Structure formats: C-alpha cells, structure tokens
C-alpha cells in the first residue's frame, strides 16, 4: 500500500530554479520522465507545452501552465547516493521548464481527492521548492470548473484527458462573450454549438421538465443559422425580407422593421440630415406625425397637439415684424388650415367644448380677415405684424388652457415608437419649411429628396413600410412570448437586405431589443435574460465613427448602439455574443466589455496584438499557440473559466452546421458536383420581374467526410 508521502514523492519531477511574478523557472531532475509519465496512475504526456505542474505550498498548490521547455548547459548535477568526485566537471545538458502561475489548487475539506481551483497565487514559491505532476483528478479539477456553479458543458480539454469543460451560464452570457478567429477556423460552428449546448442541457435540467425559458436572437447578415437548431427547437422563428413561396412553406416569416420604429437619430443617419437646419426640422416633422397618429389619443388630445405645434412653429416670428415672412401667404395659409382643422375637431366635442373652440376661431378669423385681399383672378394676404401674430397665439393659448395635457401626450416625442404613415413625412417637412424664415426651403429640399428616394426603394419597402406590424407583435416575434411559448430562438436573416440600409437595420433592431428589456425591468423590477448574437461584428461595430457636429451615418449609429449594449446590457439581462474574424477592427469599447473570450486560430499579427492587450499576462504563453490551433479547437479565457484552457468543440452533424462551408472548387471542376446555370432566372429576380424559386438555385453539396468548419 502506498502512503501519501510515497505517492507524492513518486510524482516529483524537479525544483524551482527562478521566480518572478509572471514566470517561474523549473529545473527538471535527471530522472524525470522524458515524454510520458507513468507515475500518476494514468499515462500522462510530460513534459509538454500547455501542460500543468503543481508547486505545493501551505495554501495548497500553485498551478503552473507550461509555455516553454528546453535544455540549458549547466554543471553536472550531484546525484543522491553516488560519489561523482572523480568526474570532470564539463557542461551538462539539463532540462528546464518555464511556467506561468495561473491559480491555486486547494483541497476540499473533509473530501478525499476533491480539489477546487481558485484564481490568483497567494504565496509565491522559493528557490528549491519541489515541483510535481498533477494527478488526473487534479487536472480535471483545474479545467472543469466547480460543480455547484458550472451547469453547462461546452466541450472537452485535449490536454486534460478529454475532461469536460463546464461553465456558469450566468457569467458566460451575462458578462458578454466574444468568439474570434480566422475564416474557416470554426467560429460559426462554435456559436451554434454553444447555443445548442445551452438549450439541450437546460431542457434536461428544467425543474418541471418543460422547454427552457431561454431567448437567443441572431442578427445574421450572411444567412448561416436558419437551419442550425430545428432538431432541438422545432419552433425556431426565422425572418427574411420578402420570402418566396418555398421559404414561406418551410416556415420562414417576412421580416419587417417599420420606419415608425426608428428614432430621430436613426432617421438623421439614414437621411444624412445636416445638424443645423435639416436635423431639427426632421425631428419636428417626426414629432408632429407621431403625435397626430397616436391611436391612444382622443379628439381632444389630437386638437391639443395640433394647436401646440402651430404655436411652436410660429412663435419664433414674434419680434421680427413683417420682414420675417418671405411670403405673406405663409402665415395666412397656416392659420387658414388651422381653422379648418378646428372646425373638424369641434364636430366631435361637447357643447361646452365647442363654445371654447368657436371663440378661438372667431379671434383667428378676425385677424385673417384684416389681412386678406382678393382680386378678380387671385387672392392672398398682406404682411402680418407682431400684433396680429401675438393675437392669434394668445387665442390658441386660451383654447389650450381649456384642454389640459394628458399623460399620453407627454410621452410622445420624435423618438417614441408610435405608428404613423411614413408617406407623409416628406409632405410634413415641406410644410414646416414653408413656415420657416431664411433659406430653409432651399436647405431642406435635398433632405426631402433623399427621404423620398428611400421610401420609393422597392428593395426595402416591404421591410420599412409594413402596415400590419405593431410594436407588440414585433417584440413577441423577435424577443419571444411569455415562457418562450413560440420558441427559444429567433434568426433574422439579413443576407438580402441592401447594404445601404443594412447597418441601420441592425442598429434599430439592437436598440429596440435593448430598450424593450429596459422597460421590462422598469415594469417587473427583474431582468429578462436574453442573448443577442452579432455576426461579422468587425463590419457593424467598427472603430470608425463621426465626431462632433458632422453628419451622422448608419455605420456610426450601429457602432454607438452596440457600444451602449456592451456597457449597459448586463444591467437589464441582455447578453451580447460577438463573433468576428478581425478583432483589430472592432470597437475597443465593445471588446473591453466582453468578459469571456473563445479564440480560434488567428494568424494576423494585428489581431494577435489586440488579443494580447485584452487578456492577462498569465494567458499570453497559451496565446502563442493561436496560429497553430487546429480546426474546432479554441482557447477559452476570461470570467467564465478560472484559468485559460484549450477546448475542443463538439463536431456538429452536416444537417445542423451553419451554412458557411468553403466553396467546392475542385469538386465542381472535376465534375463530382453538378452546377447548372440559369442566368435568366437570376436576372429576372434581380430586376424584379418574378420571384426566384429554389428550383433554379442549387444548394452546396458537402461530402459526408468533409470537415465541418
């Protein structure tokens, strides 16, 4: 029977030869294993890069990650039990290791062979301290995570006897996750595998055996994920702009993001509204349209808003006299239209309210009559002075005082997601510009042209001009219904969205989801855990943005939206999953808020530098392996794992892989895979002649033995 002391001494492989805060040098004994250790109970590869060693101390044992091994010429070592005095003292090759201290392994009290890994090093070793090989149980404790907190298995660790790597989902998703790597390294499959693992294992552990109350939303610019989850989540909600008959038959729904959901900043970005004249007028037009179209208002509220808009638009002219009116007809025609509206409003009012409206109309008509002129063939208005303008405004103020502002009227502004007919936006801008002074009409004309061009673009009209979509239905379809009764996953396929509005579409979708969860917490005092997956993050959250008063653009708006989600999303239950092949091009604000990283093969030196700056010094030795990582392998580090660990992601079957396989050049060239061409069908679809059916488009055929990434 082996005693604990004999078992410990059998695993002794060397001593500490040098110590610094981020590096410990180990001198291996001459009789230490050369390639395979048999003294741990299980054959173990030793020494090897990315392997682990332990340095016992009073707290437990320091865990060291091997990042370098080599031979140094040293004096011949004195061997215990041998007299080597007759040997000539020539340089002798001694093996050494360089390790990075990554944590402390402590024994669980009262439980034999149960270990717990804690972050940090409490006490550094001294020169000459013993170094031992960890047992299989200790290695598994290092890489697998604590059982009471780590609920979900993501993969296995090849350097730890293929032990399962478990994580705490609250930390992984609550503090944001970044999945990075070169094209073809396995990012998309890792994203799909992580989500699949969460759904399958949460279903298995549900307290009532029901479907998990989970929410994953994919913003999918490449159309990769629509078929990845149907085997585990039959109710996957897939949305695509203008789906054809085959899409609809397969359950794909039309995607809509109505323009009335956009806030004023997003409208300014897509319309390229200049900040000094165009943007304020655009905000005023949106405020007017949204206020007048709010279906919750009764006739009193609508009249109150109409009068308030008139006062706001014309109060600026007081004190400027007749010179402020470039066209005398402007003010006269505006009060003429106001009187028409007031006459229509009073048909739905009570007698006492009608009396107040008629008094206001009488006062306005008296002023209008004084300045109106007519001739045989025309009519118009003479210039209005300050007295006339002030009299009209006073009459309206008296009427407004009779109808107090309601709560509903107070919450409506240019940023409220209130439904209105976007076809009237150019007309509203024209009306506002006519009431302004100076060259407003000249400056606003280009803005109106851009908005009309956007509204007339047939490629996106079905998305931004949906007449049936409501805010409630959009939230139910995108975020999900109560208890995720309509499925746990929503995939928004944006591959067919025109590039001109792609950034804005992603920005608006992200913002509405974020603000919906903010309001959920406001009403319920608890958060609604939701994960938002952003593919191609380097495209939509790039470093470039506008500064100061420059004209905004959709790319900058998209970046701002996701920087805000990265900073504040955790407070409201919104976790961000960022996937990118160029981390050096992603906003630092977004990457710095990601607390966990899953890093695949990366060969670009700029991308490697960014990752090295993001991670602690203890992980940099492991990150040197990034250029040589095989497919389906990644290095996981950050808040979700105690120490950096290499993970092998489970292989996905062909049916559930993301649609991101490499093109089959050789198979097509050699005739093993057929590719038929029907350019007419594609040209007709491109030109909008008739929809393109799937019969005219062949899908990629992947051989059964093809690599899944």
Share of the chain above pLDDT 90, in %: 35
Q: Give DSSP secondary structure letters for 322-342.
A: GGG-SSHHHHHHHHHHHHHHH
Residue 435 is predicted with a pLDDT of 66
Over residues 313-339, the pLDDT tens digits come to: 777 666 655 444 444 567 788 888 889
Residue 316 is predicted with a pLDDT of 64
Distance of CA 420 to the CA centre of its chain: 28
Residue 692 is predicted with a pLDDT of 47
637 near 615, Cβ under 8 Å?
yes
Query: Which residues fall within 8 angstroms of residue 416, CB to CB, at 6 or more apart?
Result: 290
Residue 709 is predicted with a pLDDT of 41
Stretch (H or E) spanning 534: strand 530-534
503 near 537, Cβ under 8 Å?
no
Neighbour tally for 246: CB within 10 Å:
14
Q: Say yes or no to pLDDT of 643 above 90.
A: no
Place of tokens 């974020």: 514
Residue 99's beta-bridge partner residues?
A: 24, 66
Residue 324 is predicted with a pLDDT of 46
User: Strand 92-107 to strand 574-580: parallel, antiparallel, or no bridges (unpaired)?
Assistant: unpaired
Query: Which residues fall within 8 angstroms of residue 576, CB to CB, at 6 or more apart?
Result: 176, 177, 531, 532, 534, 562, 565, 566, 569, 590, 593, 594
Give the mean pLDDT of 162-186.
Answer: 91
Which residue did the predictor score with more confidence, 158 or 189?
189
Which whole-number Å values give the CA distances from 460 to 466, 498, 703, in the listed order?
10, 7, 37
Which residue did the predictor score with more confidence, 38 or 154?
154
> Hey, which of 89-93, 247-251, 353-357, 537-541 has the most confident mean pLDDT?
537-541
631 near 707, Cβ under 8 Å?
yes
Q: Say yes or no to pLDDT of 419 above 80.
A: yes
649 near 155, Cβ under 8 Å?
yes
Lowest mean pLDDT, pick from 133-147, 176-190, 209-223, 520-534? 133-147
Over residues 233-256, the pLDDT tens digits come to: 889 999 998 888 888 888 899 999
Residue 646's beta-bridge partner residues?
A: 635
Confidence of residue 431 (pLDDT cuts 50, 70, 90): confident
- Per-residue HEC secondary structure of 61-94 comes to EEEEEEEEEEEEEECCCCCCCCCCCCCCCCCEEE
Q: What dihedral angle (degrees, nearest 10) is formed by the CA atoms of 560, 562, 568, 573?
A: 150
Place of tokens 């402590």: 106
Confidence of residue 701 (pLDDT cuts 50, 70, 90): very low
> The tokens of 401 are what?
């005082």
User: Which domains can be identified in the chain, with CATH numbers?
Assistant: 4-144 (no CATH), 167-258+466-656 (3.40.50.300), 264-444 (no CATH), 665-696 (no CATH)
Query: Which residues fall within 8 angstroms of residue 149, CB to CB, at 6 or more apart?
Result: 168
- Quick check: helix, strand or coil at residue 504? helix
Stretch (H or E) spanning 96: strand 92-107
Confidence of residue 509 (pLDDT cuts 50, 70, 90): very high
Q: Say yes or no to pLDDT of 412 above 80.
A: no
Which residue did the predictor score with more confidence, 195 or 40?
195
Confidence of residue 77 (pLDDT cuts 50, 70, 90): low
- Taken in order 107, 113, 119, 125, the sign of the CA dihedral is positive
Which whole-number Å values give the CA distances from 409 to 298, 347, 403, 412, 606, in the listed order?
10, 21, 12, 6, 52
Residue 47 is predicted with a pLDDT of 81
Which whole-number Å values give the CA distances from 604 to 77, 282, 601, 609, 628, in the listed order?
44, 44, 10, 9, 12
Single out the residue of 332, 339, 346 nearest to residue 307, CA to CA.
339
Over residues 106-154, the pLDDT tens digits come to: 887 656 667 888 888 888 999 999 999 988 888 888 887 666 677 899 9
Residue 318 is predicted with a pLDDT of 66
Q: Say yes or no to pLDDT of 584 above 90.
A: yes
Which residue did the predictor score with more confidence, 301 or 374?
374
Over residues 662-697, the pLDDT tens digits come to: 788 988 999 898 888 999 888 887 776 755 454 444
Over residues 352-392, the pLDDT tens digits come to: 888 889 999 999 999 888 888 888 788 888 888 888 888 99
Which residue did the predictor score with more confidence, 690 or 518?
518
Residue 323 is predicted with a pLDDT of 47
Gap between the Cα atoms of 504 and 406, Å rounded:
33
| Mean pLDDT, rounded, of the chain | 83
pTM of the model: 0.79
Distance of CA 709 to the CA centre of its chain: 23
Which whole-number Å values give the CA distances from 610 to 193, 289, 431, 555, in the listed order?
25, 46, 51, 22
Residue 174 is predicted with a pLDDT of 93
> The tokens of 91 are what?
């340089």
Which residue did the predictor score with more confidence, 40 or 115?
115
Residue 708 is predicted with a pLDDT of 43
Residue 423 is predicted with a pLDDT of 86
Lowest mean pLDDT, pick from 167-181, 323-337, 390-404, 658-672? 323-337
Gap between the Cα atoms of 84 and 525, Å rounded:
77
Gap between the Cα atoms of 381 and 387, Å rounded:
16
């Amino acid at each position: 029977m082996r005693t604990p002391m004999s078992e410990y001494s059998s695993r002794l492989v060397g001593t500490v030869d040098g110590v610094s805060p981020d590096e410990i040098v180990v001198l291996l004994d001459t009789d230490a294993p050369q390639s395979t250790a048999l003294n741990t109970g299980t054959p173990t590869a030793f020494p090897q890069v990315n392997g682990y060693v332990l340095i016992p101390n009073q707290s437990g044992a320091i865990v060291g990650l091997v990042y370098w091994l080599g031979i140094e010429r040293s004096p011949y070592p004195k061997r215990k039990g041998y007299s080597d005095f007759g040997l000539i003292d020539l340089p002798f090759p001694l093996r050494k290791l360089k390790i990075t201290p990554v944590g402390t392994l402590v024994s669980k009290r009262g439980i034999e062979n149960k270990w717990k890994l804690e972050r940090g090093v409490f006490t550094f070793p001294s020169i000459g301290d013993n170094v031992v090989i960890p047992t299989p149980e200790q290695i598994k404790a290092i890489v697998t995570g604590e059982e009471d907190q780590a609920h979900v298995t993501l993969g296995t660790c090849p350097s730890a006897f293929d032990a399962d790597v478990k994580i705490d989902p609250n930390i992984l998703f609550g503090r944001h996750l970044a999945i990075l790597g070169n094209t073809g390294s396995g990012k998309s499959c890792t994203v799909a595998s992580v989500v699949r693992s969460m759904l399958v294992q949460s279903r298995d552990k549900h307290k009532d055996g029901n479907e998990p109350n989970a929410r994953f939303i994919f913003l999918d610019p490449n159309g990769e994920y629509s078929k990845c989850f149907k085997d585990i989540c039959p109710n996957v909600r897939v949305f695509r702009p203008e789906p054809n008959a085959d899409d609809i038959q397969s359950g794909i729904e039309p995607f809509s993001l109505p323009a009335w959901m956009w806030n004023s900043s997003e409208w300014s970005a897509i319309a390229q509204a200049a900040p000094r004249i165009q943007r304020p007028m655009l905000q005023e037009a949106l405020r007017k349209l949204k206020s007048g179209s709010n279906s919750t208002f009764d006739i009193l509220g609508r009249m109150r808003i109409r009068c308030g808009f008139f006062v706001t638009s014309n109060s600026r002219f007081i004190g400027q006299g007749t010179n402020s009116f470039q066209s005398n007809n402007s003010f006269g025609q505006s009060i003429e239209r106001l009187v028409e509206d007031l006459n229509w409003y009073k048909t739905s009012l009570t007698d006492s309210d009608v009396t107040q409206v008629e008094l206001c109309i009488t006062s306005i008509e008296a002023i209008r009559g004084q300045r109106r002129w007519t001739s045989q063939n025309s009519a118009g208005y003479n210039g209005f002075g300050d007295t006339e303008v002030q009299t009209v405004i006073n009459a309206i103020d008296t009427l407004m005082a009779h109808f107090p502002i309601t709560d509903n009227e107070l919450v409506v502004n240019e940023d409220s997601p209130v439904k209105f007919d976007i076809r009237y936006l150019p007309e509203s801008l024209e009306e506002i510009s006519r009431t302004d002074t100076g060259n407003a009409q000249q400056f606003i004309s280009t803005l109106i042209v851009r908005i009309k061009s956007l509204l007339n673009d047939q490629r996106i009209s079905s998305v931004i001009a949906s007449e049936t979509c409501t805010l409630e239905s959009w939230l139910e379809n995108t975020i999900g219904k109560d208890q995720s009764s309509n499925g746990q996953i929503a995939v928004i396929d944006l591959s067919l969205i025109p590039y001109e509005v792609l950034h804005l579409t992603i920005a608006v979708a992200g913002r509405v989801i974020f603000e919906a969860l903010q309001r959920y917490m406001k009403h319920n005092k608890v958060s609604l855990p939701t994960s938002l997956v952003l593919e191609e993050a380097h495209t939509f959250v790039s470093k470039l943005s506008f500064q100061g008063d420059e004209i905004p653009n959709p790319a900058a708006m998209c970046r701002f939206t996701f920087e805000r989600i990265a900073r504040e999303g955790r407070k409201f239950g919104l976790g961000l999953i960022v996937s990118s092949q160029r981390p050096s091009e992603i906003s630092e604000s977004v990457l710095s808020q990601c607390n966990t990283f899953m890093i695949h093969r990366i060969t670009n030196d700029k991308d490697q530098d960014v990752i090295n700056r993001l991670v602690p010094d203890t992980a940099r030795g492991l990150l040197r392996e990034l250029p040589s990582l095989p497919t389906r392998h990644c290095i996981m580090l950050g808040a979700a794992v105690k120490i950096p660990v290499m993970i092998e992601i489970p292989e996905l079957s062909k049916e559930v892989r993301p649609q991101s396989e490499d093109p089959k050049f050789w198979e097509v060239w050699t005739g093993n895979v057929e590719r038929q061409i029907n350019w007419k069908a594609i040209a007709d679809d491109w030109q909008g002649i008739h929809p393109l059916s799937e019969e005219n488009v062949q899908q990629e055929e992947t051989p059964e033995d093809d690599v899944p990434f």
